[in-house]
A and B are shown apart, each in its own frame.
Chain A
Amino acid sequence: MVSGASTNIFVGKLKDILEYSIEEPLNYLVNWGRLYALWPVHLETACCSVEWGAVSGPRYDIERWGMLAAFGSLRQCDVLVILGTVNRKMAPRVRMIYDQMPEPKYVIAMGACAVSGGLYFDSYSVLQGVDKIIPVDIYLSGCPPRPEQLIEALIMLQNKIRISKIS
């Protein structure tokens, strides 16, 4: 019989069924579209940029995972890859670049200098880690990291996006 209590249970179960059948696949679909088409802005600072050039080349082809280095404007890119040392003169400009990118955006800090200052721990002009000015998703250490490590960082970022909730 239909009564007050059983209507509540029915509406609660209907909400669960709808969530399971529509929202989860929608989540999966949107995330799948995002993670296989991550376009980078590369902040080609210092020594690590040489390994970035190698990873876009024919041997360690990163375009297989969708990271196409489309040299267009910042306004159409999703990932900011910080390749190396950020110093005090460049720090306000890095913040400006991060603010110009549209949501959702992700940051990969590549190299020991971007993670924590690296080899220049006692320099008067180097920022000790880029997470002092922007939030970082993936930390990749090495001096410089090999191209295979950069591909692993991209795959970790993709796994992180795959399980995140769209809101």
Chain B
Amino acid sequence: MSGTEDGDPSRPVRPSGRTEEEVLDAIEKRRRRPHVKLMDKQITLAHGAGGKSSHVLVEMVFLKAFDNPVLDGLGDAAVLSAPAGTRLAFTTDASVVKPRFFPGGDIGELAVNGTVNDLAMAGARPLWLTASFILEEGLDTDELTTIAESMGAAAKRAGVAIVAGDTKVVERGKADGVFITTAGVGALEREIELSAAAVRPGDKVIVSGSIGDHGMAIMIARGDLELETDLRSDTAPVHELAAALLDATGEVRWLRDPTRGGVATVLAELALAAELGVVLDEAALPIKDEVNGACEILGIDPLYVANEGKLVAVVGPDGVDDAIAALRSHPLGAEAAVIGEVRAEPPGMVLLDTAFGGSRVVDMLAGDPLPRIC
């Protein structure tokens, strides 16, 4: 504090030239808009303590990236209006993927698309998301900003608003960088019931494109395998694709997003729930050569590898042509294919007719060959 009476006598006293009024106004202004810039290079426990640092982080990183008036209000809860009588779909999804950045996407994009896709699989139009962050002390602030911007961009692409959020910081070593939980609400605008109970023998199983891209891209991005490929995660919002499918035919019985556990697992769940059999045709499965090759090396079956931008649908036989045409007319569904059929026998089981001419069981995955892929 220079310029006080008992300060260094060698330094001249230089009044600022501002009036007291001006100084007080400046303080108030600063108090309302604390910092114009987030100066911290790393996340510290203070950013989760609810004080000034938290405020700055929210304002400079999240509000900026998510950019919408509901969130800008910063209330304790977002207040939203849904059209009267609208049925709502509501879901939540946690993302803990490692590595956080991978070819084709990052944890932020994945967190948004994951919830958007879960809503889409209920036949809903995604409307609002919330995002809750658990950050590890020491996380690079620029990295968090990149992730938040990626979430903002993904939300914009999917036509949803991130309307509420929360941030906690835990000590170094108690989390791995960033964990993101998103929840989402969507509106059901069609009078449809998608469920395993609606599935009948003779229905066809359709997948919207190549399988296993996400899981294998992550596995390779970890670098443990020292494989080099051009493989990218397929992370994408599939709500438009789902909408195109549902608009094209009223014969859609069941929809799933084949994430962890892959196509095999969602179909095994369907077979059990519907007490019907599903028979897949190995030769019809759309699988990229890179995915097939990596799976061969690792001894993993691509049917069990995660997807983040695909849908699996069961469609009544009369709607199959329309369904395939509608899917293929959308860029995300260009490689859509019929991969199998629902049969009465054997109930509760998925079988695969191998390209070799044999047949085998496709059960749910035991254990976890690919930890933390989403």
On whether the two chains bind one another, the answer is: no
Q: A residues touching B (Cβ–Cβ < 8 Å)?
A: none
Q: B residues touching A (Cβ–Cβ < 8 Å)?
A: none
